[in-house]
Amino acid sequence: MKKYLMTALINIFLISTAYGSNYHKNYDDNMDCSKCHKDYSIEAINSVHFNNERKIINDAFHNFDNEFGSKNCSSCHNMTCKSCHKNNSNNMIIKPENSNCLVCHKDVYTGIEYEGYGIREDHIRYKRGLEKDKEYYLKMLPSVHHEVGIKCAECHTKNSLLGKENPKDCLTCHTYNQNIIDHSIKAHDNVACISCHAAYSPMELGSFYIRLRNSSNKELFSELPQLDDEYVKSSYMRVNERPPMVIDNETGKYVPAKPAFIIFTTDIVENNVQGKENNMILNRWKKTYPHTVRRETVLCNGCHGNEKAFLLESDENRILYPDKDGLSIKSFYNSKYFSIEGARFVTREEYNEKINKKSKEYIKKYMEKLDQLKKVIKESK
């Protein structure tokens, strides 16, 4: 959602041809952009785009801390025109660069992976490597589009940010080559391009918010991110992994999903836990579009015969046991514990009957793909 907002903001100014003109040269805090840019008021953008997200978070935290959102989300969810359009070094009004977008579109908030920044675990032991805006990242494969110099705003058009149109998608620019095995499979028409072409997706499986008031236990958490005077943040696991697939309500296609968010809260006053510890207050996945497009894709096994890829990890196949850790779920990769919006989870029947059905075509194409894999390894020097 936020990427739409960002692009909307970009486009407020794209509509004007006045970048760099004297009129817009310097940003004046007293200037009211919406006076002229009537169709692009910040409020309009907010109401279209992230009020829904805001409501979800506020509802989830309602019984825990009514002010959680205003305390911890406002650095991004409180945009003004200048958040995107002001050049911080010289106060000029500018057309936003990727760097403007990535101030907020970082971490698990889709965006920064485009330039090859993968998320790291929360503990200080993992805080090293690439540094951007005081956050540390893993060096990952960048999107192929970034490699050729395409900027955020080139796909995220002004109107896409306002929800008036979709951002440019793959087929706006590409046609797909039927000679490529995966493209030639008819059943794959139900699979969004990104489902195969996302190299990975930054995912936080289980976000933990620990509120500590007058508690000496706080020092035990000093190696975790401190959000403010009260909150410490952690996570069950932060990975840069292939995202699982769900079925998009709009298109009926298999699309990637990410946790947004699976939240657990604990409230500690002095050194006593108030209410339920590690309480799961939100269990939500949503559709995602990892900005990690590569020509390289996963092989057949990325989906076929891979129950985790459809959030259907069975108890007998799981390796991690979060229930033994005191959580109310047995697996982060089993959809029965979670909800989703705008899409639905794949069922076990679909998995057995559609995804793993060994039709003649399936077997034939599988063999061809294995031969290609062999050939690439064999002929490499």
Task: Count the site residues for another protein by CB under 8 A.
Answer: 80
Convert 81-129 into a string of H (helix), E (strand) and C (coil): HHHHHECCCCCEECCCCHHHHHCCCCCCCCCHHHHCEECCCCCHHHCCC
Of 80-88, 103-111, 185-193, 199-207, which part binds another protein (CB under 8 A)?
A: 199-207
Binding another protein (rule: CB under 8 A), the pick from 20, 129, 252, 342 is 129
Q: How many residues does the chain have?
A: 381
174 binds another protein (CB under 8 A): no
Neighbour-count burial of 23, counting CB atoms closer than 10 A to its CB (0-12 exposed, 13-18 middle, 19+ buried): exposed
Is residue 13 within 8 Å of residue 82, measured between CB atoms? no
Q: Looking at the DSSP assignment, which residues form a beta bridge with residue 26?
A: 92
Residues of span 24-83 touching another protein by CB under 8 A: none
Binding another protein (rule: CB under 8 A), the pick from 168, 276, 284, 294 is 294
Binding another protein (rule: CB under 8 A), the pick from 20, 275, 305, 342 is 305
Of 10-18, 29-37, 319-327, 339-347, which part binds another protein (CB under 8 A)?
A: 319-327
Of 120 and 156, which CB lies nearer to another protein in the complex structure? 120
Binding another protein (rule: CB under 8 A), the pick from 131, 147, 165, 325 is 325
How does 308-333 read in b/e, with b if 16+ C-beta sit within 10 Å? bbbbbbeeeebeeebeeeebebbbbb
**Least distance between another protein and beta carbon 122 (Å):** 5
275 binds another protein (CB under 8 A): no
Of 205 and 346, which CB lies nearer to another protein in the complex structure? 205
318 binds another protein (CB under 8 A): yes
Instruction: Determine the angle formed by the axes of helices 42-49 and 2-14, rounding to 10 degrees.
Output: 150
374 binds another protein (CB under 8 A): yes
Residue 210 to residues 108, 270, 276, Cα–Cα distance (Å): 19, 13, 12
Of 62-70, 98-106, 133-141, 334-342, which part binds another protein (CB under 8 A)?
A: 133-141
Binding another protein (rule: CB under 8 A), the pick from 90, 301, 339, 352 is 301
Residues of span 134-153 touching another protein by CB under 8 A: 138-141
Residue found by looking up tokens 């940003």 in the block: 27
Binding another protein (rule: CB under 8 A), the pick from 40, 50, 64, 236 is 236
**DSSP for residue 352:** I
